Amino acid sequence: MTEPAPGPTAGQHDHKACVSNALAMASALCQRRGVRLTPLRQRVLELVWRSHVPVGAYEILDRLRVEDGRSAAPPTVYRALEFLMEQKLIHRIESLNAFVGCIDPSRPHAAQYLICRQCGTVTELDDGAVAAAIQEQARRQGFSIDRQSVEVHGTCGHCADPAGAATNHAETATA
Amino acid sequence: MTEPAPGPTAGQHDHKACVSNALAMASALCQRRGVRLTPLRQRVLELVWRSHVPVGAYEILDRLRVEDGRSAAPPTVYRALEFLMEQKLIHRIESLNAFVGCIDPSRPHAAQYLICRQCGTVTELDDGAVAAAIQEQARRQGFSIDRQSVEVHGTCGHCADPAGAATNHAETATA
DNA sequence: TGCCAAAGGAAATAGTATAACACTGCCGCC
DNA sequence: GGCGGCAGTGTTATACTATTTCCTTTGGCA
Ligand SMILES: [Zn+2]
Ligand SMILES: [Zn+2]
Ligand SMILES: [Zn+2]
Ligand SMILES: [Zn+2]
């Protein structure tokens, strides 16, 4: 119930690489942009990246208190999350009230999210066709887009086909 | 956003027709489906249809208490909303934690929502191209879709261009 | 008539998010 | 060096959203 870096796709990929890559990318981006990736912000980012399952603000809060022994209250977490979202280092999954690390923060994108009901894993896509179809519809309505959010709930390949994959995928990560 | 007759699209269309049509449709659908559109559920549906601006559960709750003098608590409202969602008579806008009437409950659809930041109006679309593009992407990932939610935030035609009004607010478009 | 299941009333609680104010350290400036 | 401003964080309180639990009422039906 507190395994460090489970990741629903555990065994499928080197998640430590995901994390260190994300942190390095974040550091570089912030430096380039002239914004401060403080220790707190970096730690929150790391906690969001704990797995590919979106994490709630209060779960982050708990970890800051329990694991880090840090004094923290909701605003502590929400401010860090706000910063990370402004910098596009994380995304908010509206339908879950939770946050997930962005796969490629260096490039602006209108992403789509595939959210598995069973394992909770979110797969971030960046499909031009989807974005274009949405933009075309918006244009017809005379609507100018600020932000589009596409959240698709369903069952991922691993959960649907346990035999084939034989993944240890199993159950949810941050339970 | 709290006046009796919905502000945003007022004057743009005959909203009373929207409401009475929605209520009639709901009544017919429920009868056909053998489910009960009780007075409470009908009233909640009516309150959701008060305008094309999504309405929160607690705003509905307030109106039930103040306008109807009815004894009501959160579960009262949430249960009614749950029923209405099961029957696809309303939709939940995840990014707003609010609910809006469905434009065409008789036909199942994966809808997209254009949400105006200024006036709050939500325009429901049912564009096959968007849904298809999403499905294609999901298929490639071996992901099977239960539900897709597309919420687009931006500025509607009326708010962007108050003078000219070529576009049709609040009405649905399908493709 | 009596039973059952669905619907709704009521109280408490859980979960999510923000407002408001205080404190500190850093930086540029005089 | 002293000073003012500001970003970042700490702290407390509160607002907003949603669910659990238990009980009572209602409506359909054998
Ligand atoms: Zn990973
Ligand atoms: Zn899965
Ligand atoms: Zn209308
Ligand atoms: Zn508008």
pLDDT over 80 at A163, yes or no: no
- pTM > 0.85: yes
* B92 DSSP β-pair partners: B99
Q: Taking chain B, what is the end-to-end CA distance rounded to the nearest angstrom?
A: 30
Predicted confidence band of residue A7 (pLDDT cuts 50, 70, 90) = very low
pLDDT over 60 at A174, yes or no: no
Nearest CA among B40, B38, B56 for reference residue B100: B56
Tell me, what's the pLDDT at B11? 53
Give the pLDDT confidence of A84-138 residue by residue, as tens digits.
999 999 999 999 999 999 999 988 788 999 999 999 999 999 999 999 999 999 9
**Distance from C-alpha of B144 to C-alpha of B44, rounded to nearest angstrom:** 33
Sketch out chain B's domains with CATH numbers: 8-174 (1.10.10.10)
Tell me, what's the pLDDT at B60? 98
**Distance from C-alpha of B136 to C-alpha of A114, rounded to nearest angstrom:** 12
**Distance from C-alpha of A141 to C-alpha of B172, rounded to nearest angstrom:** 10
Judging contacts by C-beta atoms under 8 Å, the chain B residues touching residue A152 are 134, 138, 143, 145, 147-149
Residues A134, B138: C-beta atoms closer than 8 Å:
no
Give the pLDDT confidence of B42-92 residue by residue, as tens digits.
999 999 999 999 999 999 999 999 999 999 999 999 999 999 999 999 999
Residues B156/A141, Cβ–Cβ less than 8 Å: yes
Question: Chain B: nearest CA to A71, how far in angstroms?
Answer: 30
**Distance from C-alpha of A166 to C-alpha of A146, rounded to nearest angstrom:** 42
Q: Taking chain A, what is the end-to-end CA distance rounded to the nearest angstrom?
A: 6
Looking at all shown ligands, the one closest to residue B52's CA atom is 3
Tokens 């959701």 identify what position?
B48
Judging contacts by C-beta atoms under 8 Å, the chain A residues touching residue B133 are 127, 129-130, 132-133
Residue of A nearest to B162 (CA): A142
Nearest CA among B20, B126, B4, B106 for reference residue B55: B4
pLDDT over 60 at A153, yes or no: yes
Task: Determine what percent of chain B is predicted with pLDDT higher than 90.
Answer: 80
Give the pLDDT confidence of B85-126 residue by residue, as tens digits.
999 999 999 999 999 999 999 887 889 999 999 999 999 999
